[in-house]
Structure 1
């Protein structure tokens, strides 16, 4: 299975182990129009059981920028571009985790969804990893120190979410995602 998003191709994944939640019927037909956000996809791996929730973005605003941007959907005030970005990424991860939990609880339709994702054991031994992939070829995003700054700032912002789910958050640039076999060479 391959998923094209933000100028890259994610894959090649076993269809049984990958769930393109952004294209799921229950999301597109019943939830998307109501302010509910989704990441691109989820990937499940065995031994140890690990659930990767993957969001792709072409770029990220400067972490230290003080420039005010548009109104934030969370706080309804003019916010810095970086604050808007953090809110959006956190919301997508949070809503996706909630939808995955609702699938397990039979609160969403399961048609066409691999049993891997409808019957995930949510026991303590399931590792949850939230992954943001920034796909730009711009020199800023090639710099692992800059990617590390983005990751640290997102982790700080998402601390409540990470604590609730006992999850980790990783940020990869295009090269790192290639190395981790999340995306394929064009």
Structure 2
């Protein structure tokens, strides 16, 4: 499965491990006033402490610089809302709070949610690598309460990547 967004091609992913939540029936039914990220992805690792992670991915074609206030603050707030809403909606669907819960891929339905690590990711196409740390720090700060609720830094992570780093993480296909 591939997801085309913000001039990037995400994937390939197994359909069983990828939930394009932005296009889901559940989201279409509640979308009024609810901002959401592109997709949720299950990633398996060799780590014994966190063998399975849920990656929530938001894609952007550009971002304001940190010194362009209030645009930068508004941008970070929008991303924070989208990532938090997507995490919440994914879990709500997994908990069968919506009648459309069966659209969630089986691998999501069968997860041991108690031991899942959450990784909240922003990917910005063509972004200068030197600007990524400031963006990541701002987003980590904005998502601090969400991360605390879900178990802190041991159980969650925030990443801001450009398309090159996203490719190294196996998120996007080379152009």
Using structure 1 for the length normalisation, give the TM-score: 0.84
Matched, 1:177 2:175: no
Q: Which of 119, 122, 140 is the equivalent residue of 1:155?
A: 140
Deviation at 1:120, TM superposition (A): 2.7
Distance 2:94 2:135 in 1: 32
Which residue does 1:6 correspond to in 2? 6
Which residue does 2:123 correspond to in 1? 133
Q: Which of 61, 64, 67 is the equivalent residue of 2:64?
A: 61
Distance 1:145 1:86 in 2: 18
Q: What CA deviation, in whole Å up to 9, does each residue of 1:76-96 have, x standing for no partner?
A: xxxx11111111111111111
Deviation at 1:101, TM superposition (A): 1.5
Deviation at 1:173, TM superposition (A): 0.4
Q: Is the 8 A contact 2:64 2:72 kept in 1?
A: yes
Q: May I ask how many residue pairs the two structures share in their alignment?
A: 165
Structure 2: gaps spanning 5 or more residues? 46-50
Q: Say what the alpha-carbon RMSD is for the aligned residues.
A: 1.3
Structure 1: gaps spanning 5 or more residues? 67-79
Deviation at 1:169, TM superposition (A): 0.4
Q: Which of 138, 145, 149 is the equivalent residue of 2:130?
A: 145
Q: What CA deviation, in whole Å up to 9, does each residue of 1:43-83 have, x standing for no partner?
A: 102340110000001111111223xxxxxxxxxxxxx1111
Q: What CA deviation, in whole Å up to 9, does each residue of 1:110-159 have, x standing for no partner?
A: 24321122333221x21110010001x3xxx23x2311111011111221
When Rg is computed on C-alpha atoms for both structures, the one with the higher figure is 1
